[in-house]
Amino acid sequence: MLTAAEKGRRPPRSLRAEYQEFIDQRIEEYKDSLRREDILAIGDEAMIELSGADQLLLTEVVLRDQVDAIIRRRLKLPSFRRWRENHLSLRAAQSQPGHWGLSAHDPVAALAELVEDQDPVLVVGAADGAGTLFLAARGASVLCVDPDIAAIYGLESRAVIEQLGGRIECRVESLEAFAPEAGSFVACVIETGSLASLGVADRSAFVERLQAATTPGGRHAVMPGHPDRSGPRLTSDALRSLYAGWTIERRGGARRQKNIGFTAVRPADSAREGHTATGSAVSN
């Protein structure tokens, strides 16, 4: 992976900023759950409170802030100190693969050991959300793409519940048309089942675009396939031949086992070469 200086990343997020994001998100969720007349009633309450304060100028911003203050009281949202104590414990648990039902030998677990704060990571396929949420909890800025709108909605909802919504961007995208910019991600996770409906040529072209979007020295974590019985099937082994020139890593000494997934490392100084040869296999 590139160093922080080479990537020119911003400083790590502050806990204070994450706390404010948490508060703002809860307030907006509450507003979305209200009827228009309920919102207007809170606005009237805010006007009454402001009229009794030493307020020189009543503006839309001041009124909105007062409405937010009323909602915060109603929801009994925690102070920064209490939130921080709970938040640190939650993040410690979320940073472990087992919290999400992942194995320590899963390719995404190996990837997370190398991802640094705010590293841009692409996840293809919402699946059960485990990989996306795990990487976000480890500090990555994750973009998840999936053509299934229901899967994306499910992931977005779970991200909010897990207090990871600010670190995850979800998009409903056709994989045949998805073409990220070159070098825009330091790593990519491929939920194999999401590629099962693509034809061989489309699948090869799609993986090639993902490889071009990965920085030199970056990694792909190809997860084992867990297809629905009624849908098309695809295993991680079916994608190995698409990683010619990349170094293939399989964890736990499980070189001979099938469909356990793998990690592929892009050469630091060369682009993808061909489609037919298989990358060299090593085990950690």
Residue 146 sits at φ, ψ, to 5 deg, of -160, 140
Cβ atoms of 83 and 22 closer than 8 Å: yes
Cβ atoms of 256 and 281 closer than 8 Å: no
| Of 157, 264, 126, 186, residue with least CA distance to 1 | 186
- What pLDDT sits at residue 259? 65
Band of pLDDT at residue 250, cut at 50, 70 and 90: confident
- What pLDDT sits at residue 165? 86
Sign for the pseudo-dihedral over CA of 125, 205, 1, 169: negative
Band of pLDDT at residue 281, cut at 50, 70 and 90: very low
CA distance 23 to 14: 15
- What pLDDT sits at residue 61? 84
54 vs 50, residue with greater confidence:
50
In the predicted model, is pLDDT for residue 233 greater than 90?
no
What percent of the chain has pLDDT above 70?
A: 82
Average per-residue pLDDT in the chain? Answer: 84
Task: Please state the rounded mean pLDDT for residues 196-211.
Answer: 94
Q: Which residues contact 33 (CB under 8 A, 6 or more apart)?
A: none
Per the structure block, which two tokens stand in for 50? 């402001």
- What pLDDT sits at residue 48? 86
Three-state DSSP at 78 gives coil
- What pLDDT sits at residue 272? 43
What angle, 0 to 180 degrees and rounded to 10, lies between the N-to-C axes of helices 36-51 and 60-75?
110
284 vs 265, residue with greater confidence:
265
| Of 249, 244, 247, 248, residue with least CA distance to 272 | 244
Band of pLDDT at residue 160, cut at 50, 70 and 90: confident
pTM for this entry: 0.73
In the predicted model, is pLDDT for residue 65 greater than 50?
yes
CA distance 267 to 208: 14
Task: Please state the rounded mean pLDDT for residues 184-212.
Answer: 94
What percent of the chain has pLDDT above 90?
A: 51
- What pLDDT sits at residue 245? 92
In the predicted model, is pLDDT for residue 282 greater than 50?
no
All domains in the chain, ordered by first residue: 15-80 (no CATH), 100-283 (3.40.50.150)
